[in-house]
A and B are shown apart, each in its own frame.
Chain A
Amino acid sequence: MSDRIAEVWGSRTSYPAGGDWPARVDEFVEDGVEAGGVDWVQSACVLCSNGCGMDIGVQDGRIVGVRGRSEDRVNHGRLGPKGLFGWQANNSPDRLTTPLVRRDGELKPATWDDAMNLVVDRSRQVLTEQGPLGMGFYTSGQLFLEDYYTLALMVRGGIGTPHLDGNTRLCTATSDFALKETFGTDGAPGSLTDFDSCDTLFAVGHNMPETHTVLWSRMLDRLQGPDRPKLVVVDPRRTRIAQEADVHLALRNGTNLALLNGIQHELIANGWVDQKFVDAHTVGFEKLASTVAAYPPERVAEICGVEADDIRAAARIIGASERLVSTCLQGVYQSHQATASACQVNNINLLRGMIGKPGATVFQLNGQPTAQNTRETGANGDLTGMRNWQNPAHVEELAKLWNLEPAQIPSWGPPTHIMQILRYAEEGSIRFLWITGTNPAVSLPELHRIRSILGQDRLFVVVSDPFLTETAEFADVVLPAAIWGEKTGTFTNHDRTVHLSEKAVDPPGEARPDMEIFIDYAERLGLKDKDGRPLIKWRTPEECFAAFGEATRGRPCDYSGLSYEKLRGGSGIQWPCTDESPDGTERLYSDHVFNTQTEYCEDYGHDLLTGAAHERKDFTDQQADGRAILKAAEFSPPHEPPDDDYPMLFTTGRTAYHFHTRTKTRRAPQLQAAAPEAWVELGTTDAERLGVAEGDFVRVESRRGYLEAKARIGGVREGVVFAPFHYGYWDKPDQKAPTAANELTSTEWDPVSKQPLFKVAAVRVTKTGRPVEERS
């Protein structure tokens, strides 16, 4: 295997359109370990939403390496740098091994009994004083399906609060909502094999070479092989994918919607619309056509800061495509008018009739490996099994499954999103917050505000985590969690592929799987069904998975035909998997009937500008009934435009070497060495104007905070500043100046998906020359 830090995507294995992506097995084991003595345990990678099939190498009860599964449909044996090296965090000596309880202001080791009793006592107190709406829960995109489903039942059914969200709100809420708006329910329409046969790729705000390295390998093998597909890229940065593009639209951040309206304008004006498909399988075309008519290329060019001819060229490529795959990621989801823009990408594929067949689909991709499962289980902004909170029949189904009165399940409003949960904590109506496997003290916007909320005395904070994160520093109780490799469970990637991940080793010390912690809590708290029996009926992950199969029977994400037994061996199975389709389902909507029947849909939709929730009658008025919904929206300018004081636009993003807030990847020596510290990217002329040279220290400042880091010159459009969001403080507690990008971002979210915006803040940049500690 090549040096996979230097060669992130490994060697090329090119293949023609419609061919099979050749297998290439990537493997990494610790120095000094003989491959012969290693036991391999089936799993999949948890360091991005691609979910590559991998085996965990075990020797003497310890993880010693990983290798890709060559037969796996997702990765054909490949692993990216994070997958190859990130597992070393499991063995890290600073894993939490006992519960910690805050006494006299300091976290001190405690027994599980002491810690859990404290958590339960405080829960009872808050339930008595505030009621169930005084309780909040915030989970991850890193746990397993079984953890989430148990949590969803415990919180929504047992405690009866709507205040449960996942940090998937930061990565895939817009994906979820855009799919619901257009197709009626969540669920990726396509298959990763669509990349094998497409003739055109349209990537919007998706830095795939850094975020989904193995998927990028697949694309690169097409792009550098025979029958090269055309590639159109929308991104303010000159990323690796942008460098491969036929047309790169380096637009001003926050203007996606105008650009996508402009492309649709061209598709319609030039007759590059599959009108037969549109007439038969969509509603809303007239409104869309009249809306985008106001976005001719010249006007869009002015709004977006790109060339009108480039917009035309991009539209021409998309308009001539015969097999179009479009993808979106955070450049859309975390930017201004997020859901509205993501819906326009859906529209583009629908206008071209490019969906539900090989090589033609739209991917509203995910970020985290198990984000799809928070959505399916109802551990974020949805109800279990993609049910509609506004549909009483759906709530009754859940109540029946859980043996509860329907009124026990909060359905008077949508599940509460994290920014609102924190607002309730800020004003004091939420007094108990349990955070599992995530690090809001680094990952949420406007960090000084987040810290001040988490730091309140009146808020009782429980943190379950494998490590003492920046967030754990605010906890009253810290519970040591077992992670991937130390527990059995399943998770689902961004093309609906379900993988089983077996327990390979014991967790360190007294660390326990999250599902067990939740069951323990529910029992201690005495959560019961309506007949007075314990609420949670399962004890093992396998029992939980079977229960979830029943909970999803007949719903889009139907797991009823899946079992652990079926998932063992093999290569992952795509839901829906039922008695009728026992091998899973490669593509949704291959009959071009969408999930927009009123009784079946997951959501009645929203107004894209304000987020006003449509009610049942609004939805039925559209008469979609199996047709996809083309949703239109006008461009409106971002809320914090650059001005004299803060003249530049700030955007945040990722590197291939780190995941989220680096809790795992910082503990993998190869990854840490590859990207040891924060940096800032500036355009060439901006750098000249500011007198900043490569490697100079700069200060980037918004109205809310600042960071200092070394500058890299080039790679972004003029007027834009980029910083990676990974770099918090746990590994450098004495650091003199902030490095977290979210010190600068603003408290704002998309009105529909409620995804916080990380791509549109006004900032100013100054050269400091040297790091703080060296300045006088």
Chain B
Amino acid sequence: MKIDEAIQDVQRAETELAKRLRLTGERHAVEHDLFHLGHTLARKCGEHLDRLATVAGKYGVQAESAPAAESPGLLETARHKASELLGRSEMTGMLLLRDLRELYLRAQEAEITWVILMQAAKACRDTELLEIATQCHSETELCGKWLRTRIKETSPQVLAVG
């Protein structure tokens, strides 16, 4: 049984996704929805890791927790700086699109690691793990859907103007 590897893959993917969500949210803080939802969804990644931790030990995997958010004061500063430096330039559009695409791929990666874990849980008849994986999977899938919506809305403005 190699479920431990599937669990570690999920941990890596969710940790990376959380980091990327925060990074993109901060780098594009002038996109206020990205800033707020990026942090909300990064918190969700943390919750997923916490839930996974409740069963990880059973498979000999060490619990992993998501990188903590910085304090609001620092974020606020970063946001204003980013806003001043980048906010008034059309060039931010291409950067935004690239970052969103990258983030979307991270969300897809996390999503598929959950699918893999769900399959393993089913085969091993681990209902506890399956329940956690199923719920977390649907939330991670939503993160991807949200990004898909956002990318579909953003790309025409970035690419068709000028």
Q: Which A positions have Cβ atoms within 8 angstroms of B?
A: 129-131, 133-134, 412-414, 416, 419-420, 423-424, 426-429, 456, 607, 609-613, 636, 639-640, 643, 645, 703, 747-749, 751
Interface presence of B60 (CB below 8 A): no
Give the distance in Å from the alpha carbon of A423 to the alpha carbon of B83 in the complex: 11
Q: A130-B162, A427-B90, A643-B72 are in contact. Are A412 and B145 (CB under 8 A)?
A: no
13 A-B residue pairs with Cβ-Cβ distance under 8 Å, sorted by A, are: A133-B160, A133-B161, A424-B157, A426-B88, A428-B89, A429-B93, A429-B162, A456-B88, A610-B145, A610-B146, A612-B142, A636-B40, A748-B32
In the complex, how many angstroms separate the beta carbon of A418 from the nearest chain B beta carbon?
Answer: 13
User: Closest CB-CB distance, A70 to chain B, in whole Å?
Assistant: 48
A62, B24: Cα distance in complex, Å: 58
Q: Which residue of A lies closest to B76 (CB)?
A: A703
A636 to nearest B CB, angstroms? 6
A133, A643, A703, A747: the one within 8 Å of B156 (CB): A133
> Which of chain B's residues 11-26 have a Cβ closer than 8 Å to chain A?
none
Q: Which residues of A contact B87 (CB under 8 A)?
A: 426-427
Q: Given the complex of chains A and B, what is the CA–CA distance between A645 and B73 in angstroms?
A: 10
Query: Chain B, 75-96, contact with A by CB distance < 8 Å: what is the 0/1 string?
Result: 0100000000001111011000
Chain A residue, CB-CB nearest to B72:
A643
Classify the secondary structure of A's interface with B.
loop
Known contacts A612-B148, A751-B37: A413-B156 contact under CB 8 Å: yes
Contact B162 A129 (CB under 8 A): yes
Bound Cα distance from A751 to B41, whole angstroms: 13
Contacts of B89 in A (CB 8 A): 427-428
Shortest distance in angstroms between A198's beta carbon and chain B's nearest beta carbon?
37
Contacts of A423 in B (CB 8 A): 30-32
Instruction: Determine the interface band of chain B, counting residues with CB < 8 A from chain A.
Output: 20 to 34
B48 at the interface (CB under 8 A from A): no
Bound-state CA distance A424–B156 (Å) is: 12
The residues of A that contact B32 with a CB separation of less than 8 Å are 419, 423, 747-749
State which of A412, A645, A747 has its C-beta within 8 Å of the C-beta of B152. Answer: A412
- Please give, as numbers and ranges, the residues of chain A lying within 8 Å of B153 by CB-CB distance: 413-414, 416, 420
The CA of A639 and the CA of B75, in the complex, are separated in Å by: 12
Query: Contact at B39–A639, with CB atoms within 8 Å?
Result: yes
- CB-CB under 8 A from B160, the residues of chain A are 131, 133
Task: Report yes or no: A612 in contact with B31, Cβ–Cβ below 8 A.
Answer: no
Interchain CA distance A416-B145 in the complex, whole Å: 19
Whose C-beta in chain A lies nearest to the C-beta of B36? A639
Q: Which residues of A contact B40 (CB under 8 A)?
A: 609, 636, 639
Apart from A133-B157, A609-B40, list 16 A-B contacts with CB within 8 A: A131-B160, A131-B161, A413-B156, A427-B89, A427-B93, A428-B90, A429-B162, A607-B146, A610-B37, A613-B145, A613-B149, A639-B40, A640-B72, A643-B72, A748-B32, A751-B33
Give the residue name and chain of the A residue nearest to B73 (CB).
A645
Best-surrounded residue of A429, A456, A643 (most CB of chain B within 10 A): A429
| B142 interface neighbour in A133, A610, A639, Cβ under 8 Å | A610
